[in-house]
Chain A
């Protein structure tokens, strides 16, 4: 254990937390700690000030006037997963939460922290390999290394790391809104703009200012989400990150056409991946396996693979077709 000097400060209010982090360059918020303490121990992050936000009154779950739900940033994954209004209105989101991590970790891990969790790329985590995300300009070890679990969508020459979150996949499909309070006041960021693709700056993952605190996640009302589902395919039956996961919410009309569809994928993208192309290909068309397959093809038309991860494209397409077929039957 390297005993770098670290100061620990438990914030008593949101303003205090924001002021503490924004006025100190090497500082970080500390929520559940399941990412931050892990990476600190691995020397991947080196904050000299930890600002504990566990006392902030942000553990709530409340209705917002249009039938949606506002989730406080410090609500724990386990509490959100089991909250009746989440289970009823967004069952696919509850499933995504329960299929992530383990009971012990979900009890600690917060929703805000989940949005900011870091990739599981082993070169990022080892603290020393060349990695543009950890050390800008040092190169990307995964491009020519072990990359079986790396992303095939949204990649760049600089980084192909997969975004690991499950619940974020549900939230991009649901068009959630990330609410923040920062040194410059309050902000609301549509969730798809919250996750930045690596492009030329893989170390910048979110459009947050230093010291900008996520305070809540708003999930809008969406009747079709009441039958949403999340399926996660992985190397073992439980307690593992996704190879491919699929969130779907679909309504088929009396004529057998897709009337509404929300589709998002985990495990395949550098960000939680909303399958916009597949959605567009299917809306208004007959809900048939052939059309599902064509939509999946459209989604992966620009996939960039390596010899080790090219199986993911076929795997993901089949996962989409199977999931939508099961929902239809």
Chain B
């Protein structure tokens, strides 16, 4: 089947899509957007988090056809350009605090934090932890990620 949706502001088309494949597969393998990562494919790790019609979702559990006619924003769409000064404040905060180690969880976390701060500009630590419970990180122990969120909230 053909799937057409607006991705990071541009109308994109993917052909020969298997209806059982995920939005994540379409983004990474068909549209050249490898930002969202493919880890558990079971909704458990959050590394595939993207915005679908403005809501963060696990792209691994969204069927490609469900995205037909919808709007998707991936981590690649958060920064207007590639220079460091052009990055979103959440991306800058992750860099500044060293919240990135292997980086596998980072794109999903960036989208989840971006959404959290849009809903709650000054979240408490427990609120941050709960909002990010669906994003697993095996490297950082989360302390640097907490720091990054606090920094992004004040920048």
Chain A positions near chain B (C-beta within 8 angstroms): 1, 3-4, 6-8, 10, 30, 32-34, 37-38, 40-42, 50, 52, 54, 76, 78, 101-105, 107-108, 238-239
Contacts and interface: CB of A to CB of B under 8 A. Distances in A.
Contact of B63 (A33, A101, A107, A238): A33
B134 A37 contact: no
Contacts of A76: 55
Given A8-B19, A34-B43, A37-B22, A107 B55 contact: yes
Contacts of B46: 102, 104
A104 B58 contact: yes
B85 interface: no
Contacts of A103: 56, 112, 115, 131, 133-134
A283 B119 CA distance: 43
B88 interface: no
Nearest to B129: A238
Most B CB contacts (10 A, CB to CB) among A33, A50, A52, A238 go to: A33
Interface string B2-38: 0000000000000000111110010000000000000
B122 interface: no
B49 A104 contact: yes
Contacts, number: 93
Given A104-B57, A108-B57, A238 B130 contact: yes
Given A10-B68, A107-B56, A41 B112 contact: no
Contact of A3 (B18, B22, B131): B18
B109 to A, nearest CB: 11
A52 B20 CA distance: 12
Contacts of A78: 55
Question: SS class of chain A's interface: helix, strand, loop or mixed?
Answer: mixed
Contacts of B115: 103
B68 to A, nearest CB: 7
B63 A30 contact: yes
B41 interface: yes
Nearest to A41: B41
Contacts of B131: 103
Interface string B108-136: 00001001000000000000011101110
Contact of B65 (A1, A3, A52): A52
Contact of A37 (B1, B18, B61, B68): B61
A1 B56 contact: no
A102 B133 CA distance: 6
A10 B65 contact: yes
Interface string B42-76: 11001001001001111001110110100000000
Question: SS class of chain B's interface: helix, strand, loop or mixed?
Answer: mixed
Contact of B18 (A6, A107, A108): A6
For chain B, give the interface size range.
20 to 34
A28 to B, nearest CB: 11
Most A CB contacts (10 A, CB to CB) among B25, B46, B58 go to: B58
B106 to A, nearest CB: 15
28 contacts: A1-B21, A4-B20, A6-B18, A10-B65, A33-B61, A33-B62, A34-B43, A37-B63, A41-B20, A52-B66, A54-B66, A101-B43, A103-B112, A103-B133, A103-B134, A104-B56, A104-B58, A104-B112, A105-B43, A105-B57, A107-B52, A108-B52, A108-B57, A108-B58, A108-B61, A108-B62, A238-B129, A239-B133
Of all A-B residue pairs in the complex, the 4 with the closest CB atoms, nearest first, are A102-B134, A8-B19, A8-B65, A238-B133
Nearest to A78: B55
Contacts of A104: 43, 46, 49, 56-58, 112, 134
A8 B57 contact: no
A260 B63 CA distance: 45
B134 A105 contact: yes
B116 to A, nearest CB: 8
A101 B20 contact: no
Contacts of A38: 42-43, 61
A105 B52 CA distance: 12
Contact of B58 (A10, A34, A41): A34
